[in-house]
Structure 1
Amino acid sequence: MAHPIIKALRHHKTAVVLITLEIALTLAIIANALLIIGSHVSLMQVPTGLPDNELVWMKTTGIDEQMPAAERASRSAAVLAALRTQPGVRGAAMVNGLPLSKIGSWTMCLFRQPEKKNEVCQVNMYAGTPGYLDVLGVRIAKGRPFTADDVTDYDFGGHNQGNPPPVIVSRSLADQMWPEEDPLGKPVYLDVEGLHVSHVIGVTEHLANASLQTGVPNDLNILVPARALPVGSFVVRTAPGAANKVASALPTVLAKVDSNRVVSGVGTLKDSVHEYFRDDRALVWLLVAVISSLLLLTGLGVFGLTGFWVQERVRYIGIRRALGATEADIRHYFQLENLAIVSFGVALGAVTAVCLNFWLLVRYELPRLPLLPLLGGALLLFAIGQLAVLQPARRACRVPPVAATRAA
């Protein structure tokens, strides 16, 4: 059976080459598209580590950043006291940012020793007023949470000299800074000169960063207490199911307590996380549309080519039928012919896919192409090819031997 197939393919070189190239290009694009889809879907599955459904944030403006820390703390405390009295509110605090949210974030470099280049950068800092760990629902895996004695007036904007308060670090940060060591009690320098030194008192379980970056662990962060924040958002912990109702009431509460503040945004953490991944979802759906279109075009190409070949080889089909070939024999012939063409295309496409992935890896830091997307794309093409050839092959099976012979 192999010899007639090869002979037929050589007789239609141009069509075979075009279909083979189309399949190769389709596989190269599909394999890398599946890789990108997989990486973004995996990214969207990153948990915050907090009870997203119970947290509501409110971002405000109208406070002078140069305001004395005592006055700023007093005004924020009044707002927090009012928020805690609202129905459905279990706690309130002020924070500089939240996981997987675009409401604000601070990043910095930390040093194990001063005057040495042993820093860990792109570290996300979470700062909050007293009690914010309980409000957020941060889980401590080792060590202890903050106490009232840990809170200082240290200015995280860098204007106040002195030692910062003790800190809590994520497990990922602890593993990077002190691999295979106990991080509790370790000194942490916030500057290369060693003027701002703190100590680790706890390690958190998973807590996602405010933003995700390529090549950086998604939970590389440090937590610090603050008496007041120059900028930040109010966040409240609500009873289950009360988040939306509480969110709608927050601006009214703020207006009654501090009319100088202006609400610039309010929402639930769940909605913020959903919004954070909006571009990722759009990219995934775009790539799904591209893959679907390529598979459809490839299927139509195979369908049209096979239909043309069936029409062109009516005499050959009729002779084989007259010599005793069954309908299954005719169908299997065209399916094997299609399998040979797709195999050539897949082999060429695999090489093209690896080359394309290498270019994407160098240009856009995309991960290396694993075997699974390549196999997935190849299986899709084999399946599409067999489905596309099925109807023309069945039509060939229905050609009467006498009619086919006369068609010559």
Structure 2
Amino acid sequence: MDIKPILTTLRRHKTAAALIVLEIALSCAIICNAVFLINERITRMDRPSGLAENELVVLRHAGIGQDDDAQLNARQDLAALRQLPGVKAATRVNQVPFNNSSWNSGINLTPDQKDSSANATVYLADEGFIDTFGLNLVQGRNFNADEYVDYTDLRDPGEERAIPAVLISRALAEKLFPGQDPIGKPLYSWGDEPHRVVGIVDPLIRPNNQGGPAGAYLSMVLPIRYANGNTVIRTSPERRGEVMKAAIEEMEKLNPRRVLTTEKTFEEIKARYYRSDKAMVWLLISVCVALLVVTAFGIVGLASFWVQQRTKQIGVRRALGATRGQVLRYFQTENFLLASFGIAIGMLGAYGINQWLMSHYELARLPAIYLPVGAATLWLLGQIAVYGPARRAASVPPAVATRSV
């Protein structure tokens, strides 16, 4: 179809054409970035933690304190919990994933190194850590019994206790020892003595996803018994409520002075952590849908207005032999040209918005694939929206149109 007459007509309706072009451009720019943000949030929420999430119960009590009896109380707690019906394993750890705070430490490969080779989260692990969390030990071994150290001993003045062993995540191993076997390699983090890598777990997420996608799995586990931490219990999914209730009763019986501050399944902790991400996803989806609806109504309204205004011209064309299909294609081509102009401007706008988000919110660069996908969506939307008015234009009888002269 010759587009010269279409362009001539659009030049005579510059204001209306410019408005629909700007509307499409704005929708393209916002939707491309919104869909990218939605995908980023969903990807973040779907990242595996490495834990047996649907089997874990997390308890935390206040009032234990790191005193002389803290380690003894912790051992008594764990011994009692492990005897409860339905409990597969239990441990105490300084932190669990999906919290807003995190224990982190720099890691050096030599004792005199000035700048750290990596920054990783630090899990202080009691016996049963791997079994309780359901971690996948992909290389090496677990800690031996004689490698565990009490946290209170490390804090005693003048006490020089070395931490001989460390477990690290595969992501951390690849960062520290690329292309090498990490087992047996020394690293320096807590104290002046080296920790020898004895095992690799994969994956093990950081508590607060710090470091973005590249740093979310930089984790290490030290064999340190931390009494004033989170009590984590592993059980079967269907018995979590029953086991949680029994565990609370048992711990209160052992020490009635303690105050329970947390009693949640791990899935509840994760859901709470990602609550704002889910809200953002639904908000952005709503924005995208609203923009598409407004754009579609704008196209329908403009096309309907132009059909009404051009009734005489349509009738003349029909009288001169134009078929219904030709009239229909005319309006569809006209809309395609307007959408193309708007999409071209919108792509530049999408890039500009992404640059602003990158500089202010550390967002990743918008992948190029989002631009053609956004363009195809708006082209399809435009053709669907204009189809109704275009069919009405194509159905105008030549005789009725000539009587309107």
Q: 2:349 corresponds to which letter in structure 1?
A: T
- Segments of 5+ residues of structure 1 without an aligned counterpart are none
Secondary structure, in 3 states, of the residue corresponding to 2:279?
A: helix
Relative to 1, partners in 2 of residues 1:120 and 1:266: Cα closer, same or farther, differing over 3 Å? farther
Structure 1 stretch 148-157 or stretch 323-332: which is displaced more? Answer: 148-157
Partner of 2:273: 276
Partner of 1:217: 215
What do the CA deviations read for 1:232-264 (whole angstroms, capped 9, x no partner)?
Answer: 111111134212322233322221111121110
Map of 1:36-185 to 2, 5 A cutoff? Answer: 36-65=37-66, 67-68=67-68, 71-99=69-97, 101-102=98-99, 105-155=102-152, 160-185=159-184
Q: 1:389 corresponds to which letter in structure 2?
A: V
Relative to 1, partners in 2 of residues 1:258 and 1:104: Cα closer, same or farther, differing over 3 Å? farther
Secondary structure, in 3 states, of the residue corresponding to 1:371?
A: coil
Secondary structure, in 3 states, of the residue corresponding to 1:222?
A: strand
Asked if 1:377 is matched to 2:374, the reply is yes
How far apart, in 2, do the equivalents of 1:104 and 1:353 lie?
34
Partner of 1:252: 249
Deviation at residue 145 of structure 1 after TM alignment:
0.3
Partner of 1:190: 189
Secondary structure, in 3 states, of the residue corresponding to 2:330?
A: helix
Asked if 1:364 is matched to 2:385, the reply is no
Deviation at residue 200 of structure 1 after TM alignment:
1.1
Q: 2:70 corresponds to which letter in structure 1?
A: R
CA contact (8 A) 2:118 2:175 kept: no
Secondary structure, in 3 states, of the residue corresponding to 1:386?
A: helix
Relative to 1, partners in 2 of residues 1:230 and 1:87: Cα closer, same or farther, differing over 3 Å? closer
CA contact (8 A) 1:319 1:405 kept: yes
Relative to 1, partners in 2 of residues 1:156 and 1:390: Cα closer, same or farther, differing over 3 Å? farther
How far apart, in 2, do the equivalents of 1:111 and 1:307 lie?
69
Provide TM-score, normalisation by structure 2. Answer: 0.94
Deviation at residue 294 of structure 1 after TM alignment:
0.8
Deviation at residue 398 of structure 1 after TM alignment:
2.0
How far apart, in 1, do the equivalents of 2:383 and 2:246 lie?
60
Structure 1 stretch 310-319 or stretch 376-385: which is displaced more? Answer: 376-385
How far apart, in 2, do the equivalents of 1:281 and 1:274 lie?
9
How far apart, in 1, do the equivalents of 2:267 and 2:273 lie?
10
The 4+ residue runs of structure 1 with deviation greater than 3 A are 154-162
How far apart, in 1, do the equivalents of 2:33 and 2:174 lie?
32
Secondary structure, in 3 states, of the residue corresponding to 1:368?
A: coil
Q: 1:93 corresponds to which letter in structure 2?
A: T
Relative to 1, partners in 2 of residues 1:156 and 1:207: Cα closer, same or farther, differing over 3 Å? farther
Deviation at residue 196 of structure 1 after TM alignment:
4.2
Pick from 231, 238, 254 the counterpart of residue 235 of structure 2. 238
Relative to 1, partners in 2 of residues 1:92 and 1:230: Cα closer, same or farther, differing over 3 Å? closer
Q: 1:305 corresponds to which letter in structure 2?
A: L
Q: 1:84 corresponds to which letter in structure 2?
A: R
Deviation at residue 349 of structure 1 after TM alignment:
0.9
How many residues align structurally? 401
CA contact (8 A) 1:145 1:202 kept: yes
State the superposition RMSD in angstroms.
1.8
